[in-house]
Amino acid sequence: MCDYLDMIKTDMTRNRRVGTMLAALSATALALAACGETEEPVKNAVGTADPTSTMASDPNATPANEIKGAELAKGTFAALKSAPAGTKSVTGVAYLAQHDKGTTVTIDVKGLQPDTAYMSHLHEQPCAKDEGGDHFQFDAKGPEAPPNEIHIAFTADADGAATTTVSNDNPKTKGAKSIVLHLEDKDGTKFACADF
């Protein structure tokens, strides 16, 4: 329960949909009180991986492409046509594995800005359609946040590379068509995409 709350709390720092965030904040604050934590402003986790969160970088997780018995999809990242200057050299791959414990996504990206934080999500459209469209959701009427969506926060290393794995308990990601990389700017600018 409390680990799950940590996950939600971490994600809220990245959620730009203020209405959702405020609703989630009040609900989480109540629940956190029950976990013995005091209510504090959510700190911005940009630039750090939260090891308590399954939705942030987990350097020890088994990569999606190494999970035995999984149904595996692979995508190759390319810069979007709209990618701003300085982001167009991105390359890399994404793996989406559906397995008996849920879904695991791994991204392995190069050509990023050194020591810089980024966000990515599973999206519901292919890259060629509205740059991946909206976020993929397990439940289309559910919250616009994990665990109903898969968000992957990551930070590039000093060489501009990042490898990140996240997991979700739900294996039903058939509707996910792409993974989109976003800048951590105020608009969450999309700059790269990989189709599955």
Q: Which of residues 98-127 bind Cu ion (CB under 5 A)?
A: 121
Does 180 contact Cu ion by CB under 5 A? yes
Interface with Cu ion (CB under 5 A), residue total 2
| Cα-based torsion angle of the residue sequence 18, 82, 111, 63 in order, rounded to the nearest 10 degrees | 60
Does 7 contact Cu ion by CB under 5 A? no
Q: Shortest approach of Cu ion to residue 182 CB, angstroms? A: 5
Q: Which is nearer to Cu ion, 18 or 158 (CB)?
A: 18
> What is the rounded distance in angstroms from the CA atom of residue 72 to the CA atom of residue 25?
35
Q: Shortest approach of Cu ion to residue 158 CB, angstroms? A: 25
> What is the rounded distance in angstroms from the CA atom of residue 147 to the CA atom of residue 57?
15
The helix/strand/coil state of 140 is: coil
> What is the rounded distance in angstroms from the CA atom of residue 102 to the CA atom of residue 179?
17
Q: Which is nearer to Cu ion, 70 or 180 (CB)?
A: 180
Q: Shortest approach of Cu ion to residue 134 CB, angstroms? A: 8
Nearest to 129 by CA among 186, 177, 95: 177
> What is the rounded distance in angstroms from the CA atom of residue 97 to the CA atom of residue 157?
25
Q: Shortest approach of Cu ion to residue 76 CB, angstroms? A: 17
What tokens appear for 44 in the block? 């911005």
> What is the rounded distance in angstroms from the CA atom of residue 87 to the CA atom of residue 106?
20
Q: Which is nearer to Cu ion, 98 or 137 (CB)?
A: 137
Stretch that binds Cu ion, among 30-38, 51-59, 84-92, 172-180 (CB under 5 A): 172-180
Stretch that binds Cu ion, among 23-31, 90-98, 170-178, 180-188 (CB under 5 A): 180-188
Does 152 contact Cu ion by CB under 5 A? no
Burial of 13 (0-12, 13-18, 19+ CB in 10 A): middle
Q: Shortest approach of Cu ion to residue 34 CB, angstroms? A: 32
Q: Shortest approach of Cu ion to residue 3 CB, angstroms? A: 24
Residues that bind Cu ion (CB under 5 A): 121, 180
